[in-house]
Structure 1
Amino acid sequence: MRSLPDRLHRTFFRSMSLLPARGQGRFLRHYFEWFHRTPDPWRHAVDPYEARKYAATLAHVEGDSYDRILDVGCSEGTFTLLAAAAHPAADVLGVDVSERAVHRAAAKARGRARFARLDFLNQDPGGRFDLVVCAETLYYVGRDDRLRLASERLRSFLSPGGTLVLVHPWPEARRLHRFLDGDPLLVRRDEQVEHDGGRPYAVSSYRLR
């Protein structure tokens, strides 16, 4: 069961999804720009739990090769750069709604990956990708109609035969991933639930037909 602060957090973002999609996108941009007023606000670069989750995500697609990789909601690019190191021949793009976040990510990247500010609900990253990763992001989208839109947007970024990987808390992932589970254009490849220190999460992958 999620804690009271987590439940209040989810309720707040669900209420923001009552706005039109563009208005919600503007709100999220301002919120995450404020949230990134200090570097690495979630401690992605130093938290051992996050490191284990990143390793589990990369292991989920180990052995496959990709020409283009997209990390949606990349924050300051910790996972994006790990993906670039694991797939050095790929063109890797990390996108986030916060300008501060992607500026810091680009400063660390030194050419290993590209970063851009992007509201994925309303903007296209350009072209299609063999691998799209979206982690710890969909619970900010809110209500079902907006979650359906977000799911359709993520699928639209895939190349034919491309792979989409989602990583979200378990069992909340059942709700967050359900529109992709029911998408006739996608085949679910796998789902792995990790019970890590009392903070379980699911890594789910899909292939575009």
Structure 2
Amino acid sequence: MRTLPDRLHRTFFRTMSLLPARGQGRFLQRYFDWFHRRPDPWRHSVDPYEAAKYDTTLRSVGGGDFRRILDVGCSEGTFTLLAADAYPGADVVGVDVSQRAVARAAARAGGRAAFAAADFLNQDPGGRFDLVFCAETLYYVGREERLRLASERLRSFLAPRGTLVVTHPWPEARRLHRFLDGDPMLSKIGEHVDAGHGRPFAVSSYRLAGAGV
């Protein structure tokens, strides 16, 4: 069950999604640049819960010949660099709406991955990808129609037969993933709910069907 601050947090971002998509994107860019006024605001690099979630997310994919990998909502790139290490033969790209976050990510990447500031609701990250990750991001897009748009955008980043992996708190993930679950162009190939770390989360995996979009 979410706490009162969590519920207020979600209500705030649902309200912001009443803006047009481009206006919402500008708001999110300003908000997350402010939020990243100090490094690693969510403690992604040191929190044991985050480490467990990253490990579970990568294990849900397993092996594969992935040439291009995208991490949507990468913040300062902690998970992006883990993905780069797990798939050293791939070109890995992290995108985040915060310019401040991706500047820090690029500074620590050492060439292992590329990073760019991009509003994924309105901007293309550059081509199509064999593997796309998106974690702890969809609840920021707000109300249902904007969530539908975000889900369609994530699918549009996939190369033919590409894999999409989304990770969000459980049971909230049921709502956040429902447009992906109902997308006729996506086949759900796996879901794992992890309740062993105090904050349950779900990792859901999808594959783009047919010849792509």
TM-score (norm 2): 0.97
Give matches, 1:111-150, under 5 Å.
111-150=111-150
Aligned 8 A contact 1:130 1:159 in 2: yes
Residue in structure 2 matched with residue 72 of structure 1 by the alignment: 72
How far apart are 1:14 and its partner, in Å? 0.2
Aligned 8 A contact 1:49 1:196 in 2: no
Residue in structure 1 matched with residue 197 of structure 2 by the alignment: 197
- CA–CA distance in 1 between the matches of 2:118 and 2:30? 13
Aligned 8 A contact 1:69 1:93 in 2: yes
1:130 aligns to what SS in structure 2?
A: strand
Give matches, 1:15-164, under 5 Å.
15-164=15-164
Q: Which AA in structure 2 matches 1:82? A: L
How far apart are 1:41 and its partner, in Å? 0.1
- CA–CA distance in 1 between the matches of 2:116 and 2:75? 11
2:142 aligns to what SS in structure 1?
A: coil
How far apart are 1:198 and its partner, in Å? 2.2
How far apart are 1:161 and its partner, in Å? 0.2
- The alignment-based identity, stated in percent, is 78
- CA–CA distance in 2 between the matches of 1:126 and 1:113? 14
Give matches, 1:152-191, under 5 Å.
152-191=152-191
Q: Which AA in structure 1 matches 2:176? A: L
- CA–CA distance in 2 between the matches of 1:98 and 1:190? 30
RMSD: 0.5
2:69 aligns to what SS in structure 1?
A: strand
1:25 aligns to what SS in structure 2?
A: helix
**Where in structure 1 are there 5+ consecutive unaligned residues?**
none
How far apart are 1:196 and its partner, in Å? 2.8
How far apart are 1:140 and its partner, in Å? 0.2
- CA–CA distance in 2 between the matches of 1:159 and 1:50? 28
- CA–CA distance in 1 between the matches of 2:83 and 2:199? 23
How far apart are 1:136 and its partner, in Å? 0.1
Name segments (4+ residues, structure 1) moved above 6 Å.
none
- CA–CA distance in 1 between the matches of 2:110 and 2:92? 13
Q: Which AA in structure 2 matches 1:147? A: L
- CA–CA distance in 1 between the matches of 2:198 and 2:88? 34
- CA–CA distance in 1 between the matches of 2:65 and 2:58? 12
Residue in structure 2 matched with residue 14 of structure 1 by the alignment: 14
1:40 aligns to what SS in structure 2?
A: coil
1:119 aligns to what SS in structure 2?
A: coil
**Where in structure 2 are there 5+ consecutive unaligned residues?**
none
How far apart are 1:63 and its partner, in Å? 1.5
Q: Which AA in structure 1 matches 2:64? A: D
